[in-house]
Amino acid sequence: MDCKLSREELSAYLDAELNGAELLQAQDHLDQCAACRAALAELEALQDQVQVDATQYAAPAYLRHRIRAVLHENAPPQPVAARRRWSWAWINLGLAAGATTAFAVTLSLYLAQPSPDDLAERELVASHFRALMPEHLADVASTDRHTVKPWFAGKLDYSPPVHDLATQGYPLIGGRLDYLQQRPVAALAYRHRLHIINLYVWPDGAQRDSAPHAGSRQGFHLLRWTQDGMQYATVSDIAAPDLQDFSRRIQAAQAQSAP
Q: Where are the domains of the chain?
A: 3-53, 73-112, 116-257
Q: What is the pLDDT averaged over residues 54-59?
A: 61
Categorize the per-residue pLDDT at 35 as very low, low, confident or very high, splitting at 50, 70 and 90.
Answer: confident
pLDDT tens digits, 215-228: 998 889 999 999 99
Rg (CA), the chain: 26
Count the neighbouring beta carbons within 10 Å of the beta carbon of residue 169. 14
* Cα separation values, 146 from 28, 134, 170, 231, Å: 43, 25, 17, 21
Residue 1 has pLDDT above 60, yes or no: no
Residue 110: the pLDDT is 46
Angle between helices 34-53 and 20-32 (to 10 degrees): 110
Average pLDDT, whole number, for the chain? Answer: 81
Residue 195 has pLDDT above 60, yes or no: yes
Domain 116-257: give its CATH architecture. Answer: 2-Layer Sandwich (3.30)
pLDDT tens digits, 121-143: 899 999 998 898 888 899 999 99
Residue 73: the pLDDT is 66
| Alpha helices for the chain (secondary structure H) | 3-8, 10-14, 20-32, 34-53, 61-74, 80-112, 116-132, 145-151, 240-257
**pTM of the entire structure?**
0.58
